[in-house]
Amino acid sequence: MTTNTHVNSDRLWKSLMDMAKIGATEKGGVCRLALTDLDKEARDLFVKWCKEANCTIKIDQMGNVFARRAGTDNTLAPVVTGSHIDSQPTGGKFDGVYGVLAGLEVIRTLNDLKMETLRPIEASIWTNEEGSRFAPAMVSSGIFGGVFDLEYGLSRPDLDGKTMGQELARIGYAGPEPVGGRPIHAFFEAHIEQGPILEHDKKQIGIVQGGLGQRWMEVTMIGVESHAGPTPMRIRKDAMVGASAVITAVNKIGNSYQHACATVGLVQCMPNSRNTIPGKVFFTIDLRHNEDETLSKMASEAKEACEKASKENGLKLEYKEIWYLPPTHFSRDCVKAVENAANDLGFSSMPIISGAGHDSFYISRVAPAAMVFVPCEGGISHNEIENAKQEDIAAGCSVLLRAMVERANAR
């Protein structure tokens, strides 16, 4: 490949804008929750495009989709790329889906160039990366990576009690292939950064070295519902007061450690009436750090805060850690392939650590992996106003193309 070999920027951009119409929101974002009818529509469109690019399609039992472009030796393990197409309830039109459609554009560009690769190349969709409908996040790639078992994944319920297994069957994406066990020579994932570092440092490509570890907790505080008027303050058992104390403590934990993040992002108050003292509050805690020991300390402090707030307010506490993702370190060979590609193409770049979780984290447990980041406007993501420049989107995909071809032609 030459330094003049780039993907078709306009075609990639059009694919992204066409896909963004599925689940489009008024503010320019996307609401396309995992395994909804909109998710099915987006999957169907991707599969259609891949078949038009002469790919063969395989779907596994968790609905992960693999579109394969044949190599000259199809007995060799493929080089795979991909991400997710499910979104947050108020998500953007680049998060995840960019990595999926960048994979398709790699295949389309190779077809345009009539270029063969030794190994097959695949573009993939990973089910329920966001975890916004079914917790935890990245559950399907987690099964592929050996972290969860299939029964666990299929049984994950949404807030209405519908399971992933039921919804996969309903939308027709409960595939026959086993989850995992298939060899991958190298895995790459292109993604918007979802933070402000690349834009601030005026770099076009982020060479991702790895990612922060994460711990997710679900907490329920149970008090006593009572009338907001006749019930004296001194005898109340207000679950919201307890939850508020924990929320403040979690924020303090996040500010106590360098490189830490701590968030309470979901709160459900029952009965949620303006003149009734809250009798029950359910909320989540999201903790992140790049050092496992510090992450464990943060988790201990969060639990202590819950226990203290419950005791002080006369509440019953239900506390459960539902997900643990250790810090991730990517393959040196794959990271080097991304670095070489960025340098060869003349794009400004820098090493970076991902603060968000991605499917490549779990896939890295069973295959060499790396990521390509591109800037997003203002570092904003998980937001309808999420945006990225067409030239940056194309640059990241061109780096992806070059890195994948390098690994696909390696024995």
Residue 389 has pLDDT above 80, yes or no: yes
Give the position of tokens 């896939």.
363
Burial class (CB within 10 angstroms; exposed 0-12, middle 13-18, buried 19+) of 112:
exposed
- The 10s digit of each residue's pLDDT in 322-361 is 989 899 999 999 999 999 999 999 999 999 999 999 999 9
Average pLDDT over residues 135-140: 94
Mean pLDDT in the chain?
97
Query: What is the structure's pLDDT at 259?
Result: 87
Instruction: Round to whole Å and give the CA distance between 151 and 149.
Output: 6
d(CA 175, CA 63): 6
CA distance between the termini of the chain: 18
Burial class (CB in 10 A: 0-12, 13-18, 19+), 127: buried
pLDDT at 189: 98
Give the CA count within 13 Å in the CB-facing half-sphere of 186.
27
Closest CA to 143 of 134, 130, 155, 153: 153
Q: Residue 374 in contact with residue 205, Cβ under 8 Å?
A: yes
Q: 3-class DSSP state for residue 359?
A: helix
pLDDT at 179 over 80: yes
Helices 37-52/164-171 angle, 10° precision: 50
Residue 16's pLDDT is what?
98
pLDDT of residue 288: 96
Q: pLDDT per residue over 10-60, tens digit each?
A: 999 999 999 999 999 999 999 999 999 999 999 999 999 999 999 999 999
**Residue 276 banded pLDDT, cuts 50, 70, 90:** very high
Handedness of CA 90, 92, 96, 97 (dihedral sign): positive
Please report the pLDDT score of residue 411 as a whole number.
86
Torsion, Cα 186 333 296 135, to 10 degrees, reads -20
Q: Which of 240, 257, 259, 247 is nearest to 284 (CA)?
A: 247
- The pLDDT value given to residue 231: 97
**Domains of the chain in sequence order:** 9-212+327-408 (3.40.630.10), 213-325 (3.30.70.360)
Q: Rounded to an integer, what distance in angstroms lies between the CA atom of residue 383 and that of residue 275?
A: 32
Average pLDDT of the segment spanning 388-406: 98
Residue 1 has pLDDT above 80, yes or no: no
Does position 272 have pLDDT exceeding 90, yes or no? yes
Query: pLDDT digit string (tens) for 70-103?
Result: 999 999 999 999 999 999 999 999 999 999 999 9
Q: Which 8-state DSSP code applies to residue 2? A: -
